[in-house]
Structure 1
Amino acid sequence: MGNNQLQIALPNEEASLKLRLQHILHSENLQDQRTLLTTLAAELAVNVLDCGAALLHIMQQDNDTSSLATRNRLNHPPSSTPIRVDSRVMTTCISEPHPSTDIHILEPVLPSGYVMPTVKMLRYRLDIGKKHQLTVKELKKVLVEESGVDINNINNVMIHGQYTLIELPDEMPQDIFQHLKTVEISQQKLNIKRLKSRTKKQANNRFRRGKPRVNQRSDDDSA
């Protein structure tokens, strides 16, 4: 019975794999992957087909390992302990040790809607807003096309009347930054600018406020 189930499942997996491959081949630029595969094959002194087959084997092994870990979690319900990360409470699930390994696995479970930051983000200001009929969808589309930024790294878009605030990756190349200054949407240049952090502004304000108090104290002493 187990063999019959395996024989039935394999064609479905193969069909799913073919669909995913077809989608990637038609929608993604794979030049970097082709170059990497060719380089690996040359360094290993094998042909590209054998190298690709070995990579597929590694992927299948990783998938089998992931499936085994999932089954272990289902068989051993985790205990949960709340901890605080980035001023938010998340739950850390510590699974029971597997009988054959006696190893505890620490797995974070994030609150619904929480996105763990993966890159350092910086706040930017654009000289375009609601007055220019700007939409979030259109802005993200233009930024992806003109700068190559991952759409998932375009965060916290706040469109105001005359301008827009947005978060983008901090380490933006200077040539792309200068290019985005000249990019237009509805004949309005983005004129992108980096914003100073709130901490720096507060520090500068405290320094400026401190001077008059020192001068006033000197005047009192002279009187």
Structure 2
Amino acid sequence: YENNSDNWLQSPSIDCTEYTDVKLSFQRWLAVERSQGQQWDWARVLVNGNIVWESPSGANLIDASWTFQEFDISAYADNNPSVVVRFELHSDVSLSFGGWTIDDFKFTGIGPPTATDVAGAGAVPGTMRLFANTPNPFNPTTAIRFSLAAAGEIDLAVYDIAGRRLKTLAAGAFPAGDHRVEWTGVDDTGHPAASGIYFYRLTGATGAAETKIRKMLLVR
């Protein structure tokens, strides 16, 4: 990362209405200089503007491999229709490290009972899968696959790192099975998107219980 800069990566808004005991988890590969009481560099994770984690003050933090992190964010996310996660990195005027790398970002929580839960039928609840786009990185077109265990309403869209919705890729009723769409690197108005990191989010009819998010890199 550059010296004397403030960098951030922000998720799209995630609907957690009717969900409790919500937890945030992800894999990180982070390298940042010690904060020295927030005088030098620091990394933070915020949920709706609230700090849930920050890098240590007294020592540099340099991951040697992927590191799993999980946080209880129920105080900010439970029954909240709009939850936004933000990764921040502040740097001073000297020394540069690798910064944030994030993967396997997800929310988990306890949702309302389904019809299967109430009936006690013991059937396997429906699942929804969102696969890694190919190729990745890409220029200008990439393919995105998703699968549905049962027919239903879905919404698949591309977001930028500020959480702005750029492009709707699929929306409406889809049958069960595998599906494939392409993003050609343009927004809903047809304007080309700039090089950078983007997220694609798949949401099912049940909202937060069936929301999958992955990231991709457009390189022009």
TM-score of the superposed pair, with normalisation by structure 2:
0.21
Structure with more of its chain in helix, by fraction: 1
Q: Which has the higher contact order (CA 8 A, sep 6+)?
A: 2
Instruction: Give the alignment's TM-score, normalised by structure 1.
Output: 0.21
Q: Which structure dedicates a bigger proportion of its chain to strand?
A: 2
